[in-house]
Amino acid sequence: MVVQIDTTTICGTDLHILKGDVPSVEQGRILGHEAVGTVVAVGSAVRNLAVDDRVIVPAITSCGRCAACKRAMPSHCASTGGIGWIFGHLVDGTQAEYTRVPFAETSVHKVPEGVTDEQVLFLTDILPTGYEVGVRNGRVKPGDVVVVVGAGPVGLAAIQTAGLAGAATVVAVDLADSRLEHARRFGADEVINSADPDAEQRIAALTDGGLGADVAIEAVGIPQTFDLCTRVVRPGGVVANIGVHGAPTTLHLEDLWIKNVTITTGLVDGTTVPMLMKLVQSGKVAGELFGTHEFGLGEMLSAYDTFANAGANNALKVVIRR
């Protein structure tokens, strides 16, 4: 299938690729793995999609047939080489006028009428990441105190969807006050700057008798923040790691073995996109909150510049339109 790209965006992963951190990306590859577009051509294997359909093209491709996809883990789809993330990685991506979409039938999702591109654009990557790898793997339950360390787009997605699972109190932790302000917009009940020397005591004070958080979600990807999560979680709680770690982390089993703590990791699968799409449609998840800056496709370098300097520009995600 070929999709004309109407709206796309840039991911932190794209910045890693440009720095050379992802050697599997060949020189000259078109980047981008998040888009909303219009179908302009379909192949013979496509049955339920047609020209002019409006679809989201998600980060993860699913063949729907291999053992991984049948286990609802298309992040490890065997038909795409054991890694479901192929756009802007192993094949040309969505930061373009048109994108060829393999396994379209089982990968893209139709956009319901009456919903804007900005509302659904972030269902392609960050919203399911925050929900699946943070909230769902963290087994957030009604009444829980949930601490989210890192209030970048991914942490904010976890903050925004923790309420779906019934979290009573969502605590955002970040080093940047500007990110903590965004966290409030996304529904954080409490915000704590981790540079504050009392940060850990303040987190503890928000939990039952100082017992600790029911769930601590790591959304940065460095040893300090993973460690912080293991310290603030209560006995019997869950640490859900979302961050991509570039360096080894010491797992303090000498403290943790007696805490009954569960630690989860995960790569987004996108299997919850249809569910999240319904919540966007009904106004229960405000997907459009992530888009802070807008550009045209012809202004790609400015878009990258703004996103790469997100702190200075108070940017979350950029919306790039054709």
Ligand X SMILES: NC(=O)c1ccc[n+]([C@@H]2O[C@H](COP(=O)([O-])OP(=O)(O)OC[C@H]3O[C@@H](n4cnc5c(N)ncnc54)[C@H](O)[C@@H]3O)[C@@H](O)[C@H]2O)c1
Name residues whose C-beta falls within 8 Å of residue 221's C-beta, 6 or more positions apart in sequence.
Answer: 150, 242, 243, 244, 245, 246
Q: Give the Cα separation of 162 and 239 in Å (integer).
A: 14
Q: Is 22 in the site for ligand X (CB under 6 A)?
A: no
Q: Tell me which of Zn ion, ligand X, none is bound by residue 69, counting a contact when its beta carbon lies within the kind-specific cut-off of 5 to 8 angstroms.
A: Zn ion
Q: Which amino acid is present at 185?
A: R
Site map (CB under 6 A) of ligand X, residues 199-238, x = contact: --------------------xxx--xx-------------
Number of chain positions touching ligand X (CB under 6 A):
27
Of 77 and 303, nearer to Zn ion (C-beta) is 77
Site map (CB under 6 A) of ligand X, residues 170-189, x = contact: ---xxxx--x----------
Q: Is 61 in the site for Zn ion (CB under 5 A)?
A: no
What's the closest the beta carbon of residue 244 comes to ligand X, in angstroms?
3
Among 6, 125, 132, 214, binds Zn ion (CB under 5 A): 125
Yes or no: say if 302 and 285 are a contact pair by the CB < 8 Å rule: no
Q: Is 308 in the site for ligand X (CB under 6 A)?
A: no
Among 32, 74, 150, 212, binds ligand X (CB under 6 A): 150
Q: Give the Cα separation of 75 and 167 in Å (integer).
A: 27
Q: Is 164 in the site for ligand X (CB under 6 A)?
A: no
Q: Which residue is nearest to ligand X (CB)?
A: 152
Residue 317's alpha-carbon distances to 3, 152, 154, 176, in angstroms, are 22, 9, 10, 16
For tokens 């078109």, the residue is 30
Q: Cα angle vertex 314, ends 313, 316, to 5°?
A: 110
Q: CB under 5 A: which stretch of 74-82, 159-167, 212-220, 244-252 binds Zn ion?
A: 74-82
Question: β-strand 213-218 against 145-149: which pairing, if any?
Answer: parallel
Residue 5's alpha-carbon distances to 63, 75, 80, 93, 307, in angstroms, are 22, 23, 22, 10, 20
Number of chain positions touching Zn ion (CB under 5 A):
8
Q: Is 276 in the site for Zn ion (CB under 5 A)?
A: no
Q: Cα angle vertex 245, ends 226, 86, to 5°?
A: 135
What's the closest the beta carbon of residue 203 comes to Zn ion, in angstroms?
28
What's the closest the beta carbon of residue 99 comes to ligand X, in angstroms?
20
Residues 238-297 that bind ligand X (CB under 6 A): 242-244, 266-268
Q: Give the Cα separation of 240 and 186 in Å (integer).
A: 19
The residues binding ligand X (CB under 6 A) are: 12, 129, 133, 149-155, 173-176, 179, 194, 219-221, 224-225, 242-244, 266-268
